[in-house]
Structures are given as structure tokens and as C-alpha cells.
Amino acid sequence: MPRHSFHISTDWPGLRNDTGTMSSENFHTKISIPPEMDGPGVGTNPDEMLLGAAATCYIITLAAMLERSRIEKRALTMKSEGIVEVDKGIITYKEIIHRPILFLGTSANEKAFTLTKKLMLKAEQSCMITRALKGNVTVRVEPEIHM
């Protein structure tokens, strides 16, 4: 069974409200606590990183499913929202909502439209990151399809 390892290096030189760095082979960014949680808001934060992992996994999974199904598309964009609740000082990542917008190719018909809608919902269940979050964070999709 093939296995893959991914590596990230972090450096945190200070205390809670300081700024650190995170890097891998393909990126380097500053990190800190977001201002919504009384942090400095420099660079990115764990909440955005989790949302980014879920969003990129979903949109790449969807693109692969569309390709395998030979669904022609003109454009695919998405906005994702991560919802975090604070209850009695306990911070919980509750929900991720993906809102993909897909413009089908000029040769699309009703059959392609119906299949595309199914794939847009199935991609969320097929995404490795969503499966890793299952039971802890609700992930849902609100797709928009244009012919």
C-alpha cells in the first residue's frame, strides 16, 4: 500500500500574541492568532489553513470527477466559509460551507446538468480532508451551476 508523507516546518519565537512562520517545499508564510480571537492577525492562522485544506481538496476532487465524467466546463470558482463557535471559552470549528460556481461548456445538456449537480455533492464526500474531519466538523456544499 503506497504511503505519502507531507512536511511542514514551524517556528514560534514568542508567546501567544506573537508571530511565527510556517513553511514547506512550496510555500512560506507568517502565522499568528486571528484578530477575531484577540490575536495580531498577521499572516494566516490555523482556522484559515483548515478551511484552505478543505477547499483545495474539494475543488481538485470535483475537477477530477468532472474530467472523468467528460463534463465540459468553462469556469469553476468557489468561495468557502469556516464557522467557529466560542462557548464558555471553548473554541470549536463547527462547519465548513463550500459554494462552488460552475459554468458548463457550450455543449452541455440537461443530462450533463443533472450529473454535474450529483458530482458537486459527491466530491465533498470523496475528498480526503472532508473524510478526515468527519464526525468533528460538518462540511456541506451549496452548488451553483450555469449552462
d(CA 134, CA 147): 32
CATH no., domain 46-146: 3.30.300.20
Q: What is the mean pLDDT of the chain?
A: 95
Lookup: cell for 14: 514568542
Q: Which candidate, 47, 43, 56, 50, places its Cα nearest to that of 123?
A: 56
Asked if residue 44 has pLDDT above 90, the reply is yes
User: What is the phi/psi pair of residue 79, to 5°?
Assistant: -115, 135
Say how many C-beta atoms besides its own lie within 10 A of residue 147's C-beta: 13
The pLDDT tens digits of the residues spanning 86-137 come to: 899 899 999 999 999 999 988 889 999 999 999 999 999 999 999 999 999 9
Asked if residue 8 has pLDDT above 90, the reply is yes
Per-domain residue ranges for the chain?
1-44, 46-146
Asked if residue 70 has pLDDT above 90, the reply is yes
Residue 108 is predicted with a pLDDT of: 86
